[in-house]
Amino acid sequence: DTAVSQTPKYLVTQMGNDKSIKCEQNLGHDTMYWYKQDSKKFLKIMFSYNNKELIINETVPNRFSPKSPDKAHLNLHINSLELGDSAVYFCASSQGTSGYPSTDTQYFGPGTRLTVL
């Protein structure tokens, strides 16, 4: 069984379009994340949700809107896609402890490679 799954694996679209990426985890974790990995492999957190509540929102354009219908799912919707949005987007989850520094391992999905033409 896949622990963290993402769909689609590849997404090719035109500038200006709106697209969504879905993520599901079956680990029973409380916290989920979205990361962006650029062409130089640099990995940066975008959002984090704990029990469906947004807890981390990095300086991401508001064209990016995460949605968590339940704690096992975290989707990412992107409006008005731009060339610079081309990247690999990773979803991750962890047991999720807040209030003190976390020792949790994060479990990553396989990634969604987004190409904006």
Partner 1 sequence: AQSVTQLDSQVPVFEEAPVELRCNYSSSVSVYLFWYVQYPNQGLQLLLKYLSGSTLVKGINGFEAEFNKSQTSFHLRKPSVHISDTAEYFCAVTHFSGGYNKLIFGAGTRLAVHP
What residues line the site for partner 1 (CB under 8 A)?
4, 33, 40-45, 48, 50, 55-56, 90, 92, 97-111
CB of 116: closest distance to partner 1 in angstroms?
19
Whole-angstrom distance, CA of residue 18 vs CA of residue 52: 23
CB of 6: closest distance to partner 1 in angstroms?
8
Distance (Å) of CA 49 to CA 4, 13, 39, 43, 82:
15, 27, 25, 18, 25
CB of 77: closest distance to partner 1 in angstroms?
21
Q: Which two tokens stand for residue 36?
A: 């962006």
- When the beta carbons of 52 and 107 are compared against partner 1, the nearer one is 107
- When the beta carbons of 14 and 39 are compared against partner 1, the nearer one is 39
Answer whether 23's CB lies under 8 Å from 106's CB: no
- When the beta carbons of 14 and 28 are compared against partner 1, the nearer one is 28
- When the beta carbons of 14 and 40 are compared against partner 1, the nearer one is 40
Whole-angstrom distance, CA of residue 68 vs CA of residue 85: 21
Beta bridge partners of 114: 11, 87
CB of 72: closest distance to partner 1 in angstroms?
17
